[in-house]
Structure 1
C-alpha cells in the first residue's frame, strides 16, 4: 500500500475549481459588477473640476453630461468588443475589463446652470469644469466682548 501525502493547498485549489464549475453550470456565466469609472473632484481657483477615468470610451457617442435639479449627472457606457478571436487569430482567454452602462451624480450649489459647465476629454480622462462655484472661505474675524459690568450713570 502506497503512502499518499495530503496537501491542503491542492485540496483548496481543487475545491475552488469544482465550486466555480458548479456555479457556471447552475447559473450560467459568472458576471462581475458593471463599469463604474473612478472620479476625482478638485478645485481650480473658483472652479470645481470633476475628472472621470474613461479609457476606451467613445465620449462623443457614448457619454452625456447634464445639469438638472441641482445635480451634475455624467452617464454613458463602455462598449464591449464582442470578438472572441481577433483578425490575427488571437483568442480571448480571460476578460477582466469592465463594460456596461454607468451613471455618476454630483450635487451642485444652488443657482448653478448648464452655462457654467464645460467638458473636455483627453487621454482617457473626462474633465468637467463647473465655473465660479468654489467660494473662498471667509477669514476669521475677532469679535469684541462686552463686559457685564457697565458703569451706571451717577445720580447727581
Structure 2
C-alpha cells in the first residue's frame, strides 16, 4: 500500500508557496505615492551597486525595476540572502512625464521621481515657426 502524506502537511506548504509567489514577500518591496507634483516609487534594494546591479526603465506606461545580486562563494555555505535577478513593474499615472524621470540610490533604497501634470491640465507642446 502506498504511503499517504497527511493533508495537514501539504496545506501549509501550499499556502506558503502561494504567499511567497503572490503575497507580500516579493524580492523587491516597493512603495509608491504622490508627493509635491511627482509620483515617487521607492524600492528596498540593500547591498546593491546602483551603477551595475540596478536598472530602471520606462516602457508603455510602466516603470520597470530590475536588479541582480550575484552570489559569491564562501568557505562557509549558509546564507539567508536572496541571490539572482529580481524584477518589479509599477503602473504609472496617465499624467506622468516620463521624459524627466530621476533616480537616486541611498542607504539601500532606490528612489525614482517622475513629474506629473495636474489632473485635467493637458501637456502643452510648443509650436515653432516653420523654416
- Equivalent residue runs for 1:132-147 within 5 Å: 132-133=116-117, 135=119
Cα distance in 2, alignment partners of residues 79 and 69 from structure 1: 29
State the aligned residue count.
98
Offset at 1:134? 6.8
- Deviant stretches of 4+, over 4 Å: 133-136
Q: Which has the higher strand share?
A: 2
Unmatched 5+ stretches in structure 1: 1-31, 86-90, 137-156
8 Å Cα contact 1:66/1:114 also seen in 2: no
User: d(CA) in 2 for partners of 1:122 and 1:96?
Assistant: 23
Tell me the alpha carbon deviations over residues 35-63 of structure 1, each in whole angstroms, 9 at most, x when there is no partner. Answer: 71111112211211111111111121011
- Length-normalised TM-score, structure 2: 0.64
Is there any run of 5+ residues in structure 2 with no aligned partner, and where? 1-19, 121-131
**In structure 2, C-alpha distance between the alignment counterparts of 1:127 and 1:97, rounded to whole Å:** 22
- Give matches, 1:3-152, under 5 Å: 36-83=27-74, 85=75, 91-92=76-77, 94-110=78-94, 112-133=96-117, 135=119
Superposition TM-score, scaled by structure 1 size: 0.55
